[in-house]
């Protein structure tokens, strides 16, 4: 599975561009909300200002559980 150039929002409300691939081959339908855990201080993420390319984990979040403020930034 590969996510390329998707808009995301960090914990502090800053918009970021998310680029990552997963080795688990799970298909994630378009429009699915993901909660991604990433370390900003990892070397790969330091090299890509405003982007997250190396993540620790991700999980699918139900649309009803995504805060309104976050949804507005992602639209």
Percent of the chain with pLDDT over 90: 8
Structure confidence by residue, pLDDT tens digits, 54-70: 677 888 999 999 989 88
Query: How many Å apart are CA 42 and CA 40, to the nearest integer?
Result: 6
Q: How far is CA 36 from CA 9, 47, in A?
A: 10, 19
Closest CA to 3 of 75, 69, 52, 67: 52
Look at residue 21 in the predicted model and tell me its pLDDT: 67
Q: By residue range, what is the domain housing residue 66?
A: 2-74
The label of the residue with tokens 């998707």 reads 6
Give the residue with greater pLDDT, 19 vs 72.
Answer: 72
Q: How far is CA 45 from CA 17, 18, 20, 38, 50, in A?
A: 11, 10, 11, 9, 9
Look at residue 53 in the predicted model and tell me its pLDDT: 62
Look at residue 28 in the predicted model and tell me its pLDDT: 77
* pTM > 0.85: no
How many structural domains compose the chain? 1
């Amino acid at each position: 599975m590969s996510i390329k150039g998707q808009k995301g929002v960090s914990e502090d409300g800053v918009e970021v561009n998310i680029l990552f691939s997963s080795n688990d081959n799970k298909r994630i339908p378009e429009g699915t909300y993901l909660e991604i855990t990433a370390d900003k201080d990892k070397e790969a993420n330091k090299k890509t200002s405003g982007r997250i390319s190396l993540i620790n984990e991700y999980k699918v979040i139900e649309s009803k559980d995504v805060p309104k403020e976050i949804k507005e930034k992602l639209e």
